[in-house]
Amino acid sequence: MKSKKSPEFASVDTGCSNINFDPNVLSRGFSASDDSVLRMRSPAYAISFGKRLSGQ
């Protein structure tokens, strides 16, 4: 069975963009909670981002 791609997604580049999400970068007036999991997400996301950019 063949899958059909939607035409609007046919030309979408599936490569990694050079934008990294960091949940602890907040707009002025906001602050992160003291949640230890939230604090560890920044370094974990940075490692993941580096791996995606290097093709790992």
- What is the residue-averaged pLDDT of the chain? 79
Do 48 and 20 meet the contact criterion of CB atoms below 8 Å apart?
A: no
Name residues whose C-beta falls within 8 Å of residue 51's C-beta, 6 or more positions apart in sequence.
none
Do 1 and 23 meet the contact criterion of CB atoms below 8 Å apart?
A: no
What pLDDT digit, counting tens, does each position of 9-22 carry? 555 566 666 778 88
Side chain identity, residue 31: S
What pLDDT shows up at residue 21?
84
Region 33-52 average pLDDT? 91
Statement: residue 24 has pLDDT above 80: yes
Kindly indicate the confidence band of residue 54, based on its pLDDT and cuts at 50, 70 and 90.
Answer: confident
Q: Please spell the DSSP secondary structure of 11-23, one letter per residue.
A: T---SPPS----T
Kindly indicate the confidence band of residue 4, based on its pLDDT and cuts at 50, 70 and 90.
Answer: low
